[in-house]
């Protein structure tokens, strides 16, 4: 049978029952002993002495300088006077002080402190693992020892964790977190943009927080919101972007691990020890790298090497793709870009670049410099750009544009490759003897009888015959191999040509 709480208003000394007592005192100095049960003791005025006894008690001394003893159980103390004293013994439960004045848990065995009201007051923990919570004003909270949880509330708060592995909650751009060296591994959970102060290791952005930065330590940075940006700065950092939205992850100068999610993530790489972790179906991801970088067996898609706008000398960097559809962009140094499998786009920019595509349908653009472009297998489009470029066709239906400069077009496939801007007397066509046969061999000296146009009569040479056929204006012409002299109709198409007719000296036979 439950005991009905008993409400008493009195003066001086009163002992409660074994039940749940509600005891309210007078304006004088009262003394209560709650006894057993979950009691509520309210002293009102005067310097009261409240002893909750066993049970989960709530003790409120009122306006005076009160002494409150919780006893066994999880007790709550209401403090409103700087002269209030709270007494707890070891093993007396998990206890909380709610204070509207500055308060220190001191040497007591009380775990938690919550500041109330709107005043600018301070709170201090003890050697235990405390939870300290501020009010709406700007508070200063000191955790001291233990693994503390510190939440300043809505104001511009200053939080000191002390020794132990502390956790801070930040919700104001002006909040400050202060730790000293060697005081544990600490974590900030912030709902606003935040930069870790010295000696704080970890940061988790919550809610709609969009940007977080580390420090010189080995940080772990996590973001949960849409479009989050994480910057590791120094140290060997671990950056974990949003699981569902695109993130920007920049580990800084250390050997960092950057983990994306399902969105379109952007990574910045500047250390050979940097690692990128992506899963399949994780969006279209881009790596900006100031060093040579290999996408390897990962699931990132694109690489941009260096900073094209930088005034500093450009490094000679390399980019290696993977089996996905990659976009590889070089800098103004000498780059080697290799696309592997997939439908790739390779952009060399400045420098004498080497662009190597794989098996897919690829786009290669050399940019400035004397570039080497090899389309690999597949239907590729190659543009040399400025400079003296070398374009190699290995797949079917390659389209080659040399651009400015003296260009070489090397044909290594019996397929319908096309040259869009051939300039007689400047550019060269290189024909692979191993691919086309017909009596051709590497380094052979072509003579007049080996090369002809149909309207100029057949060739009479003993080895393979090369035939240039003028096409209909606007449709281009073609270069054929006619090994038996029967005419181009029965021959092998080497390449289609738009531009002028090649001269004998424009054709080179290679292995």
Q: Which pLDDT value is given to residue 448?
A: 78
**In angstroms, rounded to a whole number, what is the distance separating the alpha carbons of residues 62 and 25?**
9
**Mean per-residue pLDDT, 85-99:** 95
pLDDT band with cut points at 50, 70 and 90 for residue 169: very high
- For the chain, the residue count is 511
How many structural domains does the chain have? Answer: 1
**In angstroms, rounded to a whole number, what is the distance separating the alpha carbons of residues 322 and 300?**
8
- Higher-pLDDT residue of 300 and 124 is 124
pLDDT over 90 (residue 119): yes
| Residue whose entry in the numeric block shows the structure tokens 């051939």 | 422
Strands of 40-120, DSSP E:
40-42, 49-51, 58-60, 67-69, 76-79, 85-87, 96-99, 103-104, 112-115
The reply to whether 80 falls in a domain is yes
Domain that holds residue 64: 1-93
The reply to whether 12 falls in a domain is yes
The reply to whether 10 falls in a domain is yes
Of 240-249, 303-312, 315-324, 349-358, where does mean pLDDT reach its minimum? 303-312
Q: Which pLDDT value is given to residue 468?
A: 84
pLDDT band with cut points at 50, 70 and 90 for residue 186: very high
pLDDT band with cut points at 50, 70 and 90 for residue 307: low
The reply to whether 74 falls in a domain is yes
| CA dihedral over 31, 37, 38, 40, signed as positive or negative | negative
Cβ-contact 388, 407 below 8 angstroms:
yes
Q: Which H helix or E strand runs over 489?
A: none
Which tens digits make up the pLDDT trace of 234-282?
A: 999 999 999 888 999 999 999 999 999 889 999 999 999 999 998 777 7
Residue 47 sits at the vertex; the CA angle it makes with 45 and 50, to the nearest 5 degrees, is: 95
**In angstroms, rounded to a whole number, what is the distance separating the alpha carbons of residues 189 and 131?**
14
Computed over its alpha carbons, how large is the radius of gyration of the chain? 39
The reply to whether 79 falls in a domain is yes
Greatest mean pLDDT among 53-62, 272-281, 430-439 lies in: 53-62
pLDDT band with cut points at 50, 70 and 90 for residue 351: very high
**Mean per-residue pLDDT, 39-59:** 95
The reply to whether 55 falls in a domain is yes
pLDDT band with cut points at 50, 70 and 90 for residue 418: very high
DSSP secondary structure string, 119-140? S--EEE--SS--EEE--SS--E
Please report, for residues 210, 242, 248, the alpha-carbon distance to residue 225 in angstroms, rounded to integers and kept in the order given. 6, 6, 11
pLDDT over 90 (residue 298): no
β-partners of residue 405 are: none
The reply to whether 75 falls in a domain is yes
Q: Any idea what DSSP says for residue 323? A: S
Cβ-contact 169, 153 below 8 angstroms:
no
Q: Which pLDDT value is given to residue 308?
A: 47
pLDDT over 90 (residue 486): no
Which tens digits make up the pLDDT trace of 437-467?
A: 888 899 988 887 777 666 545 545 555 678 8
The reply to whether 16 falls in a domain is yes
């Amino acid at each position: 049978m439950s005991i009905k709480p008993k409400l008493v208003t009195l003066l001086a000394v009163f002992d409660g029952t074994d039940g749940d007592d509600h005891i309210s005192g007078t304006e004088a100095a009262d003394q209560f002993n709650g006894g057993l049960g979950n009691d509520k003791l309210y002293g009102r005025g005067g310097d009261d002495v409240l002893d909750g006894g066993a049970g989960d008690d709530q003790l409120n001394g009122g306006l005076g300088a009160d002494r409150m003893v919780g006893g066994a159980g999880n007790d709550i103390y209401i403090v409103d006077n700087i002269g209030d004293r709270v007494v707890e013994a070891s093993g007396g439960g998990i206890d909380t002080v709610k204070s509207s004045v500055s308060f220190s848990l001191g040497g007591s065995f009380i775990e938690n402190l919550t500041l109330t009201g709107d005043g600018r007051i301070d709170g201090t923990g003890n050697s235990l693992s405390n939870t300290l919570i501020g009010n709406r004003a700007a508070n200063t909270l000191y955790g001291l020892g233990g693994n503390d949880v510190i939440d300043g509330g809505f104001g511009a708060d200053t939080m000191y964790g002390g020794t132990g592995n502390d956790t801070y909650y930040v919700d104001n751009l002006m909040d400050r977190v202060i730790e000293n060296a060697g005081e544990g591994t600490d974590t900030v959970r912030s709902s606003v943009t935040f930069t870790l102060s010295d000696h704080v290791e970890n940061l988790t952005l919550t809610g709609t927080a969009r940007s977080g930065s580390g420090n010189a330590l080995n940080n772990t940075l996590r973001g949960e919101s849409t479009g989050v940006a994480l910057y590791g700065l120094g140290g060997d950092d671990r950056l974990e972007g949003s699981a569902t939205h695109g993130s920007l992850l920049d580990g800084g100068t250390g050997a960092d691990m950057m983990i994306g999610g399902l969105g379109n993530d952007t990574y910045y790489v500047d250390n050979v020890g940097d690692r990128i972790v992506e899963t399949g179906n994780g969006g279209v991801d881009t790596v900006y790298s100031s060093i040579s970088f290999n996408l390897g067996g990962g699931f990132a898609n694109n690489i941009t090497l260096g900073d094209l706008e930088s005034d500093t000398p450009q490094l000679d960097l390399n980019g290696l793709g993977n089996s996905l559809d990659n976009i590889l962009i070089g800098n103004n140094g000498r780059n080697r870009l290799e696309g592997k499998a997939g439908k790739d786009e390779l952009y060399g920019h400045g420098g004498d670049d080497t662009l190597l595509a794989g098996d897919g349908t690829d786009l290669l653009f050399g940019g400035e410099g004397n570039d080497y472009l090899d389309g690999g297998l597949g239907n590729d489009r190659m543009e040399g750009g400025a400079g003296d470029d070398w374009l190699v066709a290995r797949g079917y239906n390659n389209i080659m544009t040399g651009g400015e400069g003296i260009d070489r077009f090397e044909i290594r496939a019996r397929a319908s490759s096309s040259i869009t801007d051939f300039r007689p007397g400047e550019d060269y066509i290189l024909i692979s003897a191993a691919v086309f046969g017909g009596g051709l061999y590497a380094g052979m000296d072509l003579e007049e009888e080996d090369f002809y146009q149909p309207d100029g009569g057949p060739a009479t040479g003993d080895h393979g015959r090369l035939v240039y056929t003028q096409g209909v204006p606007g449709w281009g012409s073609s270069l054929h191999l006619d090994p038996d002299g029967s005419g181009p109709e029965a021959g092998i198409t080497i390449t289609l040509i738009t531009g002028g007719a090649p001269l004998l000296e424009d054709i080179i036979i290679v292995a």
